[in-house]
Amino acid sequence: MTDHDFITGLPKAELHLHIEGSLEPELMFALAERNRITIPFATVEAVRAAYDFSNLQDFLDIYYAGANVLQTEQDFRDLAVAYFDRAAADGVVHAEIMFDPQTHTDRGIAFGTVIAGLLAGMADAETRHSMTSKLIMSFLRHLDEEAAFATLAAAEPWLDRIDAVGLDSSELGHPPEKFARVFAAARGKGLRLVAHAGEEGPPDYVRQALDLLDIDRLDHGNRSLEDPVLTARLARIGMTLTVCPLSNLKLCVVRDMAEHPIDRMLKAGLRATINSDDPAYFGGYIADNYRAVAMARGLDRNDLALLARNSFLGSFLPDDVVAKHL
């Protein structure tokens, strides 16, 4: 069996995926036409050519603009179905997907429109691919605490369909401590907690995510490695890191894939996983991410199997279901 087929065939969970980041340029154009929205690009190729980022904010500006074409429940369903189809082809059997309600509610799209469409896509994935999935509602950290509380309130009727809350968008200048109270409130409602930290932000933001947010899972976490005490702590508590290699490359978190720290993470005893983050923007889905680091860092099949195993251990599936996947 080729390495390519081994990676595709490895059953895996995807734990770090922004559904808005799976909007491929082709679908962006189709939805723009369907909803009579003008987008500032003439062709699909022109969209792809614009995906040249020097940092997180560069990407976020274009990612929020792209999301404007998403208007109706059907649009969100089509977006989710396209992602699940692509993920199934890559051997994903379980996905915990993030969505950013504020990106939509702030431009007048009802919370219910967004989530009803995504849930319909999730039901379709279960029917057609036997793929299970969970929803993570992410707060935009460049907005204030009050806006995050309003989002949590808007989610109230849907809380039985949402597994976790997350924290994403512009990291620098928006430390986890800003959201300590809203995360505590989410915990009080029985939700799991995840947060992006240590992508561009310093190790102290990771420490805050642990101490002030009480996270169950760490999104990215790369810069934790700058602090040996923090790294040892993450290893000791068995914290799952949702690492996204192609994202790290495209957003200049690493200069070259040959410098990616995935194997250093595993050697340090961290429960690292591989994920695609925003695959339509970063040039690859989950199997492409496995392949890119495997090639660049010389990972063998045992390493790859460990990364896939970590993805189930780090999921929010019940223990008996996790055991079936191991």
- Give me the residues that bind ligand HPA (CB under 6 A), please: 18, 21, 56, 168-169, 196, 199, 247, 277-278
- Select from 14, 20, 163, 277 the one that contacts Zn ion (CB under 5 A): 277
Q: Is 278 among the annotated ligand-binding positions?
A: yes
Nearer to ligand HPA, 13 or 56 (CB): 56
Question: What are the distances in angstroms from CA 223 to CA 227, 254, 264?
Answer: 8, 11, 12
Shortest reach from residue 277's CB to ligand HPA, in Å: 5
Contacts of 127-133 with C-beta under 8 Å, sequence gap 24+, read 128/85, 128/88, 129/84, 129/85, 129/88, 130/93, 131/84, 131/87, 131/88, 131/92, 131/93, 131/94, 131/95, 132/93, 132/94, 132/95, 132/317, 132/321, 133/84, 133/94, 133/95, 133/96, 133/97
Task: Check whether 16 is labelled as a binding-site residue.
Answer: yes
Interaction pattern, residues 171-200, with Zn ion; x per rule: CB under 5 A: ------------------------------
Residue 28 tokens read as 């962006």
Residue closer to Zn ion (CB basis): 73 or 277: 277
Tell the smallest beta-carbon distance from residue 16 to Zn ion (Å).
6
Query: Which of 126, 199, 226, 259 is the catalytic position?
Result: 199
Query: Does 277 show up as a binding residue in the annotation?
Result: yes
144 is in an annotated binding site: no
Q: What, of Zn ion, ligand HPA, none, does residue 21 touch, CB below 5 to 8 Å by kind?
A: ligand HPA
If contact means CB under 5 to 8 A according to the sort of partner, which of Zn ion, ligand HPA, none does residue 206 touch? none
Pick 75 or 277: Cβ nearer Zn ion: 277
Q: How far apart are the first and last CA of the chain?
A: 21
- Please choose which of ligand HPA, Zn ion, none residue 141 contacts, taking the beta carbon within 5 to 8 angstroms, the exact cut-off set by kind: none
Confirm or deny that 142 is annotated as ligand binding.
no
Q: Report the residue number, 22 or 309, with the smaller CB distance to ligand HPA.
A: 22
* Segment interacting with Zn ion, rule: CB under 5 A, options 26-34, 204-212, 262-270, 274-282: 274-282
Please state the closest distance from residue 124 (CB atom) to Zn ion, in A: 24
**Cα–Cα distance for residue pair 223/243, rounded to 1 Å:** 11
Q: Using CB under 5 A, which of the segments 158-166, 200-208, 226-234, 269-277 binds Zn ion?
A: 269-277
Task: Report what 273 binds from Zn ion, ligand HPA, none; CB cut-off 5-8 Å by kind.
Answer: none
Residue 199: active-site member? yes
Q: Which is nearer to ligand HPA, 24 or 168 (CB)?
A: 168
* Residue with Cβ nearer ligand HPA (24 or 277): 277
Binding stretches for Zn ion (CB under 5 A): 277
Which residues are marked as active site?
A: 199
| Residues of each annotated binding site for substrate | 278
